A and B are shown apart, each in its own frame.
Chain A
Amino acid sequence: MSAADYTDYQAARAFASPHAHGGGEVRRTMFLVLTALVPATLFGFWLYGWPAFFLWLMTLISVLLFEFMSLRLMGQKNAGRALGDGSALLTGWLLAMTLPPWSPWWVGVLGAFIAIVIGKQVFGGLGQNVFNPAMVARVALLISFPLQLTAWVTPLPLTPLTAPGFIESLHITLGQTPVPDAITSASLLGYAKTELSRGIELAQALTTSHAPQLSWLGARAGSLGESSALLILAGGIFLLITGVIRGYAPLGVLAGALIPAFIAHSIAPESYLDARSHLLSGALMLGAFFIATDYVTSPTTGAGQLVFGLGVGLMTWIIRTLGGYPEGVAFAILLMNALTPIIDRVIKPRILGRTWSGRPIVSADAGKEA
């Protein structure tokens, strides 16, 4: 090109600064979160067999379908492209990870509908919802179908012969074969709650042979993504390192749940579970790193996120320990989601040159001139 070609340049309109961009993309962020979920999910498939995979697939497909339909209904022309941002996929994935792995197919489909349509799209779609869609779906399902949503199975890895085969698994997912009683099992939290309500002390209840066991790796009854605390933690650390999430909310959740658990257990070990059981049970780890860090429904400032996390942790412990439900992460997240606008209103960064209350600061040198 010659120097004279500058005349080709024609700006169509006034462009606002800045004329450079850092390169961050929503799509990339969502992709990183999905990547962080992969190890725990794969391990879950191995642990619970084909039915878990079918449920996961079912949920993801229906989530994409509902998202696409909603976008089209709202008149979005390139709904397909909007689908590509991966946010719906993430919602569906997170939902699938909190469902009992052998749930029938309609649990996944109904959950996807609640999450995408009621939890997200009626508010205007991506970024506009006030509650975490996956948790809305999870709670709505739990309240509507308590039986199906607490039917945990003991891990039956794909490899052993006792595990259901491909076809048999299809039957389970399609709801034609009920989950045999022999392989259902209570989660530790549910077990502890039941035993306590029967008047049996924890120390005694947990030492019996049929008490659920705990392990970092996650060979225990539970949902797809909740089982392996270690892999979830690894995913969380991956997100911290890639800068997708910050440490405030996870720190808050863990501290908010474990500190009261530790104190209560120290005072009355016969009626309160220890901190380790709380950490490795249920969705605490998943909630701390993947759900409490949801951008849309949590506060924007670091301090706000810490408060949010502490609230989630504390509520989780309260509901687990004192409430009617054995698991409280989903409820705790929704409750703190509801408080997020107020947290955001109260906790704001200090504006440079102003006091916390917004008045200009008084400089130390101001008196000197007078």
Chain B
Amino acid sequence: MGLMEKFFGLSWGIHPKDHKRPAADAVTRIMPAPERLYVSLAQHLGAPALPSVLVGQRVKKGDLLANPQGSVSAAIHAPTSGVVAAIGEIPAPHPSGLPVLAVTLAADGLDEWSEALEATPDPFALAPDEISRRVAAAGVVGMGGATFPSALKLASSRKAGVTTLIMNGGECEPYLSCDDRLMRDEADAIIDGIRLMLYATGASAAIVGIENNKPEAIAAMQAAAQAYSEVSVRSIPARYPMGSEKQLVQTLTGKEIPAGSLPAEVGVVVHNVGTAKAVRAAARYGQPLVSRLLTVNGGAVKHPGNIVVPIGALVEDVLAFAGGFSATPGRLVMGGPMMGMSLPHARVPVVKGSSGILALAGAELADREEGACIRCGSCVRACPMGLLPLEMARHIQGDDLKGAVKLGLKDCIACGCCAYVCQSHIPLVQYFAYAKGTLAAEDRAKLHADATKKLALARGERLAQEAREKAEVAARRKAEREAAKLAEAAAKTATAATVKTVETEGAPA
């Protein structure tokens, strides 16, 4: 940091203490499947998957458990071989601890792969859309944490004519090192995956951006990418939130993504390096996404490190495998400390988007009572989006959510920089999450009200119609009755006449 930068505070973002080592340097461990696995049906962005197995059914590792449902969704596969023990609700890996639908698998311990995997010796011989189809069949989602179905992103990038593929190796979150570890261990596989993604999207070049606090990963990736001119590996300054899509694209390409648009607007698409590996496994070997590398770290963890964990393993099993606690944790977090979710307890499953499990000791949390804002402006300087967090929070505190939206609440990426630097310990992100959630609920209520308004209108029309019909029927009846009466009267007169005639006729007789 230069003197001018220090005196005038010119840069966005923050430089948190990264806590990445020694976990990043520990050898990767592989966790065997525990006895029971709880595979959530909603572990991707979009609609939950629809189960395609029955309770009691025997499945092998990689067999389909649930089909995607709707336009944005992803398939889910068995992480090991065993028997489907239940399909029901389990606590979700989410701060609320609310239930989520899941397939419970009793592992048989054999860990047998399914025979139905479609392997291809040369995936580059396939059509690009076929690669997307295989990625979709393998249930690959974004491994950075956003969990957007990757196949959809590949296909839509191709349609949008994306020219540059940005590979996110930033891993700017403190504590996490799974991407770092993956790049060190499997650089060749990642580069192969990147080339497959280039092929599938039709982009001409890929840039891998890696923060300069991971020199080993940069070296490994550069060595692996040497043979391919279309893939370049770039070192970027370590700064949080460098791994955020908008910030990464701007740093690597100088292009600014317009608000409310996808990166495709400026001709780029961003994928995580972990996704590249999953894409390769899907395209080359037909292997679905059934396990992932994640970081177990935090002050309360005895042996921090990176572990390959089957999807659906309980956090408590993972922590036990990692070696347990060295102290009672103050908080369990899934993901990084800046944007990760606090867990209500350890009996929640690992999902495809879990990049880390942190057991933070009380001292690391620095929890304090919220104080009054002293308008120091640290949050304004830290905000990577150029927002005014203090003003937004002030409006939300005063129940003026619309005022907060006017200040740019919808542009907030919830990176947590503002709350991290806040001297008064104001939970700014919580204010924004509360406001966004409340506004979304209001929008839903409005949609609901519009729908019910239509129903009420339809009912009104129907009642009017019924009344009209009733009136018509009544009128018709009346008319008929009158007609009948008339006819009767006419008949009477006629008979009378006839009688008369008869009488008259008969009289002479």
Contact = CB atoms under 8 A, between A and B. Distances in A.
Interface of A: 1-11, 14-26, 28-29, 85, 87, 124-128, 240-241, 243, 246-248, 295-296, 298, 300-302, 344, 348-354, 358, 360-366, 368-369
B340 A361 contact: no
B341 A17 contact: yes
A362 B255 CA distance: 11
Contacts of B360: 19-20
Contacts of B250: 352
Contacts of B368: 21
Contacts of B161: 368-369
Interface string B408-419: 100100101001
A24 B255 CA distance: 33
Nearest to B418: A18
Q: By CB atoms of chain B within 10 A, which of A22, A23, A363 has the most?
A: A22
Chain A contact surface mostly: loop
Contacts, number: 224
Contact of A360 (B8, B174, B260): B260
A248 B8 contact: yes
Given A9-B345, A17-B340, A21-B420, A247 B8 contact: yes
A296 B375 CA distance: 5
B80 to A, nearest CB: 22
A368 B331 CA distance: 49
A127 B375 contact: yes
A1 B325 contact: yes
A348 B329 CA distance: 41
B364 interface: yes
Interface string B357-376: 01110001111100111111
B325 A128 contact: no
A19 B333 contact: yes
Chain B contact surface mostly: loop
B2 interface: no
A178 B342 CA distance: 67
Contacts of B10: 302
A20 B411 contact: no
Given A26-B374, A363-B266, 8 more contacts: A3-B319, A7-B316, A11-B343, A17-B341, A19-B358, A296-B374, A298-B375, A349-B383
Nearest to A296: B375
Given A5-B324, A25-B423, A361-B258, A300 B373 contact: no
8 contacts: A1-B325, A11-B332, A17-B414, A125-B372, A247-B7, A301-B380, A352-B411, A368-B267
Contacts of B342: 11, 14-17, 19
B388 interface: yes
Contacts of A22: 14, 16, 420-421
B95 to A, nearest CB: 4
A23 B320 CA distance: 31
Contacts of B96: 14
A199 to B, nearest CB: 45
Contacts of A298: 375
Contacts of B320: 3-4, 6
B266 A365 contact: yes
Which 6 pairs across A and B sit closest by C-beta, in order of nearness?
Answer: A3-B324, A16-B430, A18-B416, A14-B95, A21-B366, A15-B342
Interface in B360-411: 360, 364-368, 371-378, 380, 383-388, 390-391, 408, 411
Contacts of B421: 22, 24
Given A24-B378, A360-B258, A1 B326 contact: yes
B337 A300 contact: no
B151 interface: no
Interface residues of B, number: 90
A7 B424 contact: no
Given A19-B340, A351-B387, A353-B256, A4 B324 contact: yes
Contacts of A25: 423
Contacts of B333: 19
A131 to B, nearest CB: 13
A353 B258 contact: yes
A83 B429 CA distance: 27
B438 to A, nearest CB: 14
B9 A302 contact: yes
Q: By CB atoms of chain B within 10 A, which of A9, A298, A362 has the most?
A: A9
Contacts of B387: 349, 351
Given A10-B345, A295-B377, A363-B258, A353 B411 contact: yes
B7 A127 contact: no
A301 B380 CA distance: 7
Nearest to B174: A20
B480 interface: no
A20 B7 contact: no
A349 B411 CA distance: 13
Given A300-B390, A352-B386, A11 B345 contact: yes
A23 B421 CA distance: 7
A143 B265 CA distance: 61
Contacts of B190: none
Contacts of B260: 353, 360
B239 interface: no
Contact of B433 (A16, A126, A362): A16
A126 B372 CA distance: 6
B339 interface: yes
Contact of A349 (B7, B174, B323, B380): B380
B71 interface: no
Nearest to A11: B344
A3 to B, nearest CB: 3
B489 interface: no
Nearest to B346: A6
Contacts of B256: 352-353, 361, 363
Nearest to A298: B375
A86 B366 CA distance: 20
B276 interface: no
B372 A353 contact: no
Given A349-B380, A363-B261, A9 B332 contact: yes
A6 B325 contact: yes
B246 A302 contact: no
A243 B267 CA distance: 39
Nearest to A248: B8
B386 A20 contact: no
A317 to B, nearest CB: 24
A352 B390 contact: no
Contacts of B9: 246, 302
Contacts of A362: 258
B227 interface: no
A26 B390 contact: no
Contacts of B338: 17-20
A351 B411 contact: yes
B164 to A, nearest CB: 10
A275 B425 CA distance: 43
A248 B7 CA distance: 8
Contacts of B386: 349-352
Contacts of A353: 246, 256-261, 385, 411
Given A6-B316, A24-B422, A26-B374, A18 B8 contact: no
B46 interface: no
A17 B246 contact: no
B255 A363 contact: yes
